[in-house]
């Protein structure tokens, strides 16, 4: 009623209701405005039957083009020209021949004629009667003889030649290599001799004799007092004197076997060992009984001890490849005497260690020959062998090889 106040709290004065919310296409004026073209392709159309395309192909209009792919050929041979090849009249044929006369292919290969190569033949060749064939016999060979020629009887000497050259043996023919086969009885003819062992009478009832050897008259029966089957039954069924009955379990035990677990697996320490069995040395009182045998702190050092690190580290091995920044002396460097009185070959970078290092035989011979020694292979080998005896491992150096050459060893 208009004079009655509405209950509840008002929803505001914006005029929005459920009907306006559920029907925006009727009450909302903005819904009636068309969507811009650049936004329309991104919207989803729910119209039934509408094909939904990707936005990337929305503006693709290549399918509307009328151009045809490929290269157009405006000038060419038409279909009617290919179909109508024969001229309609003699004048058209002459006109067509005049058009074709300018081409080299028409000059060399005229229609209906042989290939023209342009050769100029002598006049004698062009005369009548030149180059005619020679009369031949018309009869010739018969077709039957060509298809089925007569076979020639091959002599034995010729056949043996083909056997030797081509191994052309007859079917089933035995090969003869010309061997002289001889045994203790004389010559052997391969055509008459039978190889193999002598054939004896076949054995009969072999399977029965295998299962029951007693059927074989040549079989010797073993010396058996009692059958083993009966002895096994007696041992199983009867009870032996002073033994338990064999129940057939199959596990045989020794008569001296005792069942159960042993009380003591090995020798153990007992009262006897605690009371006696001590030697006199062990029965003596302990050495530290009533004495202090542990040394206390002594503020005394070894008088021969040297503190610090030695300048020459001969106590450690030198590295294989010494670094440039490594200034440590490992005891392999030259002393003051070498610096004051350098060796003879120190200017060339050769040290005394190079004369004592192991060197191969070929390198030693090359060094001495380069130094001016006239060494042949025999002298060098003999000196190398004598130098090897100087070293337990057989290694040879320049010094030992020089001593061998000088006869010092």
Do strands 182-183 and 186-187 pair parallel, antiparallel, or not at all (unpaired)? antiparallel
What integer is the mean pLDDT of 193-216?
81
Instruction: Examine residue 259 and state whether it is found in any structural domain, yes or no.
Output: no
**pLDDT the model gives residue 325:** 92
Instruction: Examine residue 268 and state whether it is found in any structural domain, yes or no.
Output: no
Over residues 110-157, the pLDDT tens digits come to: 888 888 888 888 888 777 777 766 676 777 778 888 888 888 899 999
Question: Are the CB atoms for 336 and 353 separated by under 8 Å?
Answer: no
Higher pLDDT, 380 or 9: 380
**pLDDT the model gives residue 3:** 62
Q: Where are the beta strands (DSSP E) in 111-267?
A: 182-183, 186-187
Which ranges of 65-201 does DSSP label H, i.e. alpha helix? 79-83, 90-100, 104-108, 123-126, 143-147, 156-166
Residue 11, pLDDT > 60, answer no
Over residues 272-322, the pLDDT tens digits come to: 777 777 778 887 888 888 888 787 777 778 888 888 888 889 889 989 888
Mean pLDDT of the chain: 81
- Residue 408 corresponds to which tokens in the numbers above? 């010092």
Please give the C-alpha separations between residue 40 and each of 26, 54, 62, in angstroms, as whole numbers: 21, 12, 20
The C-alpha atoms of residue 288 and residue 294 are separated, in whole angstroms, by 9
Q: Rounded to 5 degrees, what are φ and ψ at 183? A: -120, -165
**pLDDT the model gives residue 406:** 84
Residue 165, pLDDT > 90, answer yes
Residue 92, pLDDT > 60, answer yes
**pLDDT the model gives residue 178:** 78
Q: Rounded to 5 degrees, what are φ and ψ at 96? A: -65, -40
Residue 312 per-residue DSSP state:
B
Q: What is the largest CA-CA distance in the chain?
A: 160
The C-alpha atoms of residue 343 and residue 336 are separated, in whole angstroms, by 12
Q: How many structural domains does the chain have?
A: 1
Cα 207 versus chain centre, distance:
54
- Residue 104 corresponds to which tokens in the numbers above? 């080299």
The C-alpha atoms of residue 53 and residue 57 are separated, in whole angstroms, by 7
State percent of the chain over pLDDT 90: 4
* Cross-strand bridge partners of residue 10: none
Residue 2, pLDDT > 60, answer no
Name every residue whose Cβ is closer than 8 Å to that of residue 107 and which is 6 or more positions away in sequence. Answer: 101, 116
Instruction: Examine residue 261 and state whether it is found in any structural domain, yes or no.
Output: no
SS3 of 171, please? coil
Confidence (pTM): 0.25
Residue 162 per-residue DSSP state:
H
Please give the C-alpha separations between residue 226 and each of 129, 222, 343, 354, in angstroms, as whole numbers: 125, 11, 105, 94
In the block, which residue shows the tokens 């003819």?
189
**pLDDT the model gives residue 203:** 80
Least confident segment among 8-17, 81-90, 345-354? 8-17
CB atoms inside a 10 Å sphere around CB 364: 21
SS3 of 273, please? helix
Question: Are the CB atoms for 396 and 387 separated by under 8 Å?
Answer: yes
Extract long-range pairs of 225-228: CB within 8 Å, 24+ residues apart: none
Instruction: Examine residue 26 and state whether it is found in any structural domain, yes or no.
Output: no
Instruction: Examine residue 401 and state whether it is found in any structural domain, yes or no.
Output: yes
Instruction: Examine residue 393 and state whether it is found in any structural domain, yes or no.
Output: yes
Instruction: Examine residue 110 and state whether it is found in any structural domain, yes or no.
Output: no
Name every residue whose Cβ is closer than 8 Å to that of residue 74 and which is 6 or more positions away in sequence. Answer: none
The parent domain of residue 362 ranges over: 353-405
Name every residue whose Cβ is closer than 8 Å to that of residue 390 and which is 6 or more positions away in sequence. Answer: 400, 403, 404, 409
Q: Is 209 exposed, middle or buried (0-12, 13-18, 19+ CB in 10 A)?
A: middle
- Residue 33 corresponds to which tokens in the numbers above? 């405005």
Please give the C-alpha separations between residue 200 and each of 14, 197, 225, 227, in angstroms, as whole numbers: 132, 9, 38, 37
Which ranges of 325-376 does DSSP label H, i.e. alpha helix? 336-340, 352-356, 361-370
Range picked from 43-47, 69-73, 163-167, 199-203 for highest mean pLDDT: 163-167
**pLDDT the model gives residue 13:** 52
The C-alpha atoms of residue 228 and residue 106 are separated, in whole angstroms, by 118
Instruction: Examine residue 33 and state whether it is found in any structural domain, yes or no.
Output: no
The C-alpha atoms of residue 227 and residue 233 are separated, in whole angstroms, by 10
**pLDDT the model gives residue 157:** 93
Residue 348 per-residue DSSP state:
G
């Amino acid at each position: 009623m208009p004079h009655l106040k509405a209950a509840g709290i008002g929803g505001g004065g914006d005029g929005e209701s459920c009907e306006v919310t559920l029907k925006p296409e009727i009450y909302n004026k903005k819904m009636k405005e068309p969507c811009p073209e650049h936004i329309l392709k991104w919207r989803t159309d729910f119209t039934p039957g509408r094909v939904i395309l990707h936005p990337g192909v929305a503006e693709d209009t290549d399918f509307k083009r009328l151009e045809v792919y490929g290269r157009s050929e405006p000038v060419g041979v038409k279909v009617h020209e290919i179909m109508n090849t024969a001229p309609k009249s003699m004048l058209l044929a002459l006109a067509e021949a005049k058009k074709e006369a300018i081409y080299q292919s028409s000059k060399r290969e005229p229609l209906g004629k042989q290939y023209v190569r342009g050769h100029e033949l002598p006049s004698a060749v062009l005369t009548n009667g030149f180059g005619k064939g020679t009369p031949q016999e018309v009869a010739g060979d018969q077709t039957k003889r060509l298809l089925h020629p007569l076979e020639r009887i091959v002599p034995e000497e010729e056949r043996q030649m083909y056997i030797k050259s081509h191994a052309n043996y007859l079917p089933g023919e035995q090969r003869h290599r010309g061997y002289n086969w001889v045994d203790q009885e004389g010559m052997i003819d391969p055509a008459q001799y039978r190889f193999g062992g002598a054939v004896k009478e076949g054995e009969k009832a072999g399977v029965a004799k295998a299962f029951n050897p007693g059927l074989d008259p040549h079989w010797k029966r073993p010396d058996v007092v009692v059958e083993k089957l009966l002895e096994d039954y007696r041992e199983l069924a009867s009870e032996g004197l002073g033994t338990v009955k064999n129940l057939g379990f199959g596990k045989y035990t020794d008569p001296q076997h005792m069942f159960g677990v042993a009380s003591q697996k090995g020798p153990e320490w007992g009262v006897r060992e605690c009371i006696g069995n001590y030697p006199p040395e062990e029965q003596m009182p302990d050495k530290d009984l009533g004495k202090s045998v542990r040394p206390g702190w002594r503020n005394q050092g070894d008088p021969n001890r040297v503190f610090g690190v030695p300048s020459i580290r001969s106590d450690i091995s030198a590295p294989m490849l010494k670094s440039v920044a490594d200034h440590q002396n490992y005891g392999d460097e030259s002393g003051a005497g070498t610096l004051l009185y350098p060796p003879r070959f120190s200017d060339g970078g050769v040290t005394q260690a190079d004369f004592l290092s192991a060197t191969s035989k070929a390198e030693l011979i090359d060094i001495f020959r380069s130094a001016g020694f006239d060494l042949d292979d025999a002298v060098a080998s003999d000196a190398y062998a004598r130098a090897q005896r100087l070293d337990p491992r057989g290694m040879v150096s320049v010094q030992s090889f020089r001593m061998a050459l000088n006869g010092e060893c």
